[in-house]
């Protein structure tokens, strides 16, 4: 349809279950033909809105929505300085929406446009968290009873902030997502009390509690499930090298985000000293940041957040690069990836031969109502519905009933500090 044009580009903001979601909707000159895409950057959502409304919308109106590659490339360089989570998420919303439109025009799911399915469904992992070992074990067993085989385990470190220590239960009524549970006031010595909004983190107590958790899970649940763990870049790199060696005995499916992107070279030390599988990537904004990690085989699972790098167009190319080096995909999929983003993840999961695992957030009922066609998970797998495009929609009238809530500092990520007051990088 050479005369088809983009008529309008709109942003839909909604927060049905305490996570701010950003959706881009592209309308075409053909009545009722539109596409939606995920542009969620929950810590800076209004900046993404401005990038879409003020820059991409006037740039795109009148263009042919079929020209996805040209639109992506021209939009990418239109700001001259490129990359970064704001511009990339804005571009991702557009890109995913265009693939949604193309699938609808072809009357095919997007995975068929990519070449068809390499599997029937995508294995997912869920999050078992708790304040103590027994709580994590109980939740993991509940997930196992539901058919899940891959479980990320995180436990609180008594007296300290701990990434991911709560926020998931084996029940579809509750939302899974990153959350920091903290002791707001921690004694440092007998004369001083330090209080920080995000809590106090210290690496050695965390490492001790994490190793104790792995020992407990293997001793109680056994070796028939795959366990994963997220360090979240919080410990000094040399301690991360030691942790990767220590966890080798517990045979993790992968150890995630052992180092911050600034410390990538430390992965070479890990490779030389241990066979612990490594996952990395959710903090990368550009595929160019991860290329050296892939070509040098410094990671086993590529964990990029698809909207963070600009959508499906760059993500499928990155997946193909990973295939050449036998690196598996494990797209980032927490609660602040919208159901539309999860649907986009699934399109690549089904098509990519080097798929590894998919992170999954258990969406509450209200979120599923706002997004009809939300990907279904059963028996530990995410299944496609076979509908054209991304197979998902947004109920705008219902979405409007859940506006963004006011948040301190605009909803910035909690600042976590060491006991001496120094900032810990997430």
- CA dist 62 → 2, 8, 76, 406 (Å): 12, 9, 18, 36
- Is the distance from CB of 270 to CB of 279 less than 8 angstroms? no
With 0-12 / 13-18 / 19 or more C-beta atoms within 10 angstroms meaning exposed / middle / buried, residue 373 is middle
Residue 84 neighbours by CB distance under 10 Å: 15
Say which residues have a Cβ less than 8 Å from residue 26's Cβ, sequence separation at least 6. Answer: 6, 8, 9, 34, 35, 36, 37, 60, 65, 94, 97, 98, 101
Bridge partners, 187 (sequence order): 193
Q: Which of 237, 280, 222 is nearest to 256 (CA)?
A: 280
Phi-psi region of 160 (alpha: psi -120 to 50; beta: other; left: phi over 0): beta
**Catalytic pick among 127, 149, 232, 332:** 232
3-state secondary structure of 79: coil
User: Residues 339, 343, 348, 351: is their CA dihedral positive or negative?
Assistant: positive
Spatial contact of 290 and 316, defined as CB atoms under 8 Å apart: no
Smallest CA-to-CA distance from 169 within 337, 20, 15, 364 is with: 364
**How far apart, in whole angstroms, are the C-alpha atoms of residue 100 and residue 388?**
8
Pair 231, 239: CB distance under 8 Å? no
CA distance 148 to 140: 9
Q: Please tell me whether residue 196 adopts helix, strand or coil conformation.
A: coil
Residue 305 annotated as catalytic: no
Catalytic residue among 163, 360, 381, 402: 163
Closest CA to 311 of 115, 110, 91, 101: 91
**Is 163 assigned a catalytic role?**
yes
In whole angstroms, what is the distance from residue 16 CA to residue 147 CA? 27
- What are the Cα distances from residue 212, in Å, to 134, 250, 263, 320? 12, 11, 26, 38
Active-site amino acid positions: 163, 232
């Amino acid at each position: 349809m050479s005369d088809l044009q983009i008529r309008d580009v709109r942003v839909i903001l909604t927060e049905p279950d305490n996570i701010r979601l950003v959706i881009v909707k592209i309308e075409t000159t053909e009545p009722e033909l539109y596409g939606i895409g995920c542009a969620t950057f929950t810590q800076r959502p209004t900046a993404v809105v401005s990038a879409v409304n003020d820059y991409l919308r006037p740039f795109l109106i009148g263009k042919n929505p079929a020209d996805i590659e040209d639109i992506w490339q021209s939009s990418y360089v239109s700001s001259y300085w490129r990359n970064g989570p704001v511009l990339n998420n804005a571009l991702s919303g557009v890109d995913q929406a265009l693939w949604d439109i193309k699938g609808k025009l072809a009357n095919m799911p997007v995975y068929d446009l990519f070449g068809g399915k390499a599997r029937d469904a995508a294995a997912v992992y869920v999050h078992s968290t708790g304040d103590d070992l027994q709580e994590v074990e109980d939740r993991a067993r509940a997930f196992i009873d539901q058919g899940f085989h891959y479980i990320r385990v995180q436990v609180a470190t008594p007296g300290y902030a701990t990434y991911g220590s709560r926020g998931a239960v084996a029940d579809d009524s509750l939302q899974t997502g990153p959350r920091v549970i903290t002791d707001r006031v921690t004694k440092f010595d007998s004369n001083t009390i330090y209080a920080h909004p995000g809590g106090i983190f210290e690496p050695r107590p965390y490492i001790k509690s994490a190793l104790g958790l792995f020992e407990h899970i293997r001793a109680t649940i056994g070796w028939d499930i795959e366990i994963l763990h997220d360090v979240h870049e919080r410990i000094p790199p040399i301690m991360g090298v030691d942790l990767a060696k220590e966890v080798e005995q517990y045979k993790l499916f992968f150890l995630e985000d052992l180092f911050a992107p600034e410390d990538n070279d430390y992965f070479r030390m890990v490779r030389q000293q241990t066979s612990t599988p490594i996952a990395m990537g959710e903090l990368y904004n550009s595929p160019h940041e991860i290329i050296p990690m892939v070509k040098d085989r410094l990671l086993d699972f590529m964990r990029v957040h698809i909207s963070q790098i600009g959508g499906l167009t760059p993500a499928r190319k990155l997946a193909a690069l990973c295939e050449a080096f036998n690196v598996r995909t494990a797209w980032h999929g927490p609660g602040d990836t919208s159901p539309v983003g999860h649907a986009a993840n699934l399109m690549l999961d089904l098509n990519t031969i080097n798929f590894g695992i998919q992170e999954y957030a258990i969406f509450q009922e209200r979120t599923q109502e706002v997004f009809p066609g939300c990907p279904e998970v059963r028996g530990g797998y995410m299944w496609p519905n076979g509908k054209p495009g991304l197979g998902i929609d947004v109920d705008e009238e219902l979405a409007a009933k859940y506006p963004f809530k006011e948040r301190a500092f605009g909803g910035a990520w909690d600042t976590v500090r060491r006991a001496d007051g120094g900032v810990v990088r997430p």
